[in-house]
Structure formats: structure tokens, C-alpha cells
């Protein structure tokens, strides 16, 4: 039994990494700092700084005191650029895939530690978990790179007039949410590789006696 426990140590570490990556993925969806807009001429807007997220934009006012006003948007809003619209779908997909991957991993680890040593009860769930986590990492990475490309090329967003934001900022930079998402993608990739590296014990035909 000790042999089987030791053989899954990497997968236990993979489960921890995938759990952290999944939490960071969920957190990046809630963060608003995907794109940071700096507006020099405040006469054309009621703010000098805006944080653009995938679900809302927050505008910071500096007229008399620093105040924040956030505007939410959904899938149905037509003014959203492809980078943000794609990030909405990709991160939701990544969260679902990561959750399924964790479920498969828990099932496989349970079988290993309980001595259920059939190949389809250990290897296949680990492989499924690895594929799901790597796919989730790809989804997160695409969302990150697409938004990063938009920032590098100074892409604008035609926000509704009520938001009091220009089409394009004077300068823009990546926000903390992109960094969090990048870390999440890396952890999902790494955990997926650890799951795929599981090797079924050669003497698996021997079942432990109770």
C-alpha cells in the first residue's frame, strides 16, 4: 500500500497547484484591473483614471476627493471589444474545466489511497484531470494574451456616453488581474503535466488484503 501512496505524491502536489490556480482564475474574473487607462485631459471625462475589467469598468474621480464609480456590463452589451467578450467566455470555461479536473483528480486519489488499483480507476481519471487542467490553462492564456495585445496596440472601447470615458485613453497599461490570470494559467499547466505524469504501478495486479 505504501508503494501506491508514494506513486501519487506528484498528483497530490498537482491537486494543490490546480486548486490554487482555480482560485486565482476565479479571482481574476472578479478583479477589475485588467486594463488601466490614464486620461491626461480631464475636461473630456470626469476622471483621470479608469480600471477596465471583463465584467465592469471603474472610474476614479479626482474633482474634490477620490471617488470610485463602477459600471457593470454583461454578454449582451454590444460595445464590448472582442478581447473582453472573449475573456468573459474563456474564463468561465476555464473555471468549469478546472472544477471538473479537480473532481476527476479527487476521484483518482481516493481510489489510490483506498487501494482500488484497477487501471481505469486511477490512470484514466488522472489523464482526464490533466487534459482538463491544461485546456483550462490554454483558455486563461488566450484571454490574457488577447487583452495584452489590445493594450500594446492601444485599442479603444466605445463605452456608452453615460460612462464619461473617451474612446481611447492617453496611455494604458496592464493591471494586476492580468498578472493573477497569468499565474493561474501557469499553475493549471503545471498541475496538468503532473497529472499526466502518473505511472500505473507495475504490480497493480496485486490487490491489498484487508
Asked whether the whole model's pTM tops 0.85, one would answer no
Q: What is the mean pLDDT of residues 188-197?
A: 89
The whole domain housing 108 covers: 2-32+75-156+176-196
The mean pLDDT of the chain is 83
Percent of the chain with pLDDT over 90: 48
Domain count, the chain: 1
Indicate the pLDDT class of residue 3, thresholds 50, 70 and 90: very low
Has residue 109 been placed in a domain? yes
Has residue 62 been placed in a domain? no
Has residue 124 been placed in a domain? yes
Summarised one tens digit per residue, pLDDT across range 100-149 is 999 988 888 887 777 666 556 567 888 899 999 999 999 999 999 999 99
Q: What is the pLDDT of residue 209?
A: 39
Has residue 123 been placed in a domain? yes
**Res 169 pLDDT > 60:** yes
Question: Which span out of 24-28, 73-77, 162-166 was modeled with the highest average pLDDT?
Answer: 24-28
Q: What is the pLDDT of residue 177?
A: 95
What is the DSSP secondary-structure string of the chain? -HHHHHHTHHHHHHHHHHHHHHHHHHHHHH--TTEEEE-S-GGGSS-SEEEE-SSEEEEEE-SSS-EEEEEE--TT-TT--HHHHHHHHHHHHHHHHHHHHHHHHHHHHHHHHHT---HHHHHHHHHHHHHHHHHHHHHHHHHHHHHHHHHHTT------GGG---SS-SEEEE-HHHHHHHHHHHHHHHHHHHHHT----TTTTSPPP-
Who wins on pLDDT, 49 or 3? 49
Has residue 37 been placed in a domain? no
Q: What is the pLDDT of residue 150?
A: 92
Amino acid at each position: 500500500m505504501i508503494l501506491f501512496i508514494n506513486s501519487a505524491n506528484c498528483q497530490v502536489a498537482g491537486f494543490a497547484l490546480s486548486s490554487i490556480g482555480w482560485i486565482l482564475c476565479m479571482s481574476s474574473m472578479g478583479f477589475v484591473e485588467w486594463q488601466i487607462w490614464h486620461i491626461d485631459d480631464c475636461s473630456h471625462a470626469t476622471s483621470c483614471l479608469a480600471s477596465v475589467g471583463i465584467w465592469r469598468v471603474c472610474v476614479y474621480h479626482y474633482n474634490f476627493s477620490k471617488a470610485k464609480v463602477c459600471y457593470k456590463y454583461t454578454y449582451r452589451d454590444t460595445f464590448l471589444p472582442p478581447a473582453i467578450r472573449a475573456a468573459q467566455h474563456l474564463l468561465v470555461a476555464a473555471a468549469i474545466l478546472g472544477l471538473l479536473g479537480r473532481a476527476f483528480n479527487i476521484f483518482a486519489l481516493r481510489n489510490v489511497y483506498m487501494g482500488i488499483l484497477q487501471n481505469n480507476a486511477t490512470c484514466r481519471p488522472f489523464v482526464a484531470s490533466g487534459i482538463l487542467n491544461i485546456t483550462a490553462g490554454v483558455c486563461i492564456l488566450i484571454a490574457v494574451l488577447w487583452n495584452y495585445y489590445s493594450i500594446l496596440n492601444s485599442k479603444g472601447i466605445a463605452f456608452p456616453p453615460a460612462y464619461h470615458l473617451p474612446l481611447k485613453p492617453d496611455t494604458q497599461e496592464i493591471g494586476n488581474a492580468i498578472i493573477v490570470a497569468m499565474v493561474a494559467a501557469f499553475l493549471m499547466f503545471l498541475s496538468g503535466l503532473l497529472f499526466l505524469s502518473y505511472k500505473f504501478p507495475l504490480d497493480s495486479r496485486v490487490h491489498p488484503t484487508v
